Amino acid sequence: MTQDLSIVQLMLNASWVVQAVVLLLVVMSVISWAAIFRKVFALKLVRSHNDDFEREFWSGANLNELYAAAAQSARHGGPMERIFASGMREYQKLRERRITDNGALLDGARRAMRASFQRELDALEANLSFLGTVGSVAPYIGLFGTVWGIMHAFTGLAALAQVTLSTVAPGIAEALVATAIGLFAAIPAVVFYNRFAHDIDRVANAMETFMEEFSNILQRNLGAHAPSQSTTPSGH
């Protein structure tokens, strides 16, 4: 009886609709777990890069030297470093055009950093919507497989003269497997979706705070009338 009611045996005896539903749920689960592992390592790397750059930034390093280093390692650096590079790049371009309006210089740098921030945030949120979709849709897909399987089981029982528990159990069990696999796919997706959303919010808040602090540094340098000379963030 145990062998007859094993999951593998139940799926082999299930209708093709239930088998298709289970296969779809398994594929969704595998893809979501792959996305989860990629996101875990990606967020860990982002936090590490941001911490390293922020530590170097507030150590009193020269802004021009930091910008040169950030421009060289743009592809291998962190989001905060790329945001800083975008702001400095726009700031220097505007100064090369001999724009003397301090407000225009500061607004240009802020707009460049905001655009870079949005690109970095979009990259951090990649695959997050897929996890949300799996978490919300998978239980209903499994429920559909269960309903179809139960309908199929009772249709088969209608031709029998005598119905016992042993004849009903396999059909009901194979139908319920679809719901179980749907929950198996949905629960990790929901848990990690919420965790990643929280982690991304923290990273985004840290980057927005840095943007404001860097803008204040630029504003102080502009107020001192020496924005292009060996400026450092040590005044913060």
DSSP sequence for 130-143: HHHHHHHHHHHHHH
Residues written for the chain: 236
Q: Residue 33: its pLDDT value, please? A: 95
pLDDT tier at 14 (50, 70, 90 boundaries)?
low
- Say if CB 180 and CB 143 are below 8 A apart: no
Residue 180 falls inside a structural domain: yes
Residue 2 falls inside a structural domain: no
pLDDT tens string 222-234: 765 444 444 555 5
Closest CA to 190 of 130, 132, 140: 132
Q: Which residue segment(s) compose the domain that 169 sits in?
A: 7-235
Q: How many independent structural domains does the chain possess?
A: 1
User: What's the pTM?
Assistant: 0.79
Q: Residue 80: its pLDDT value, please? A: 92
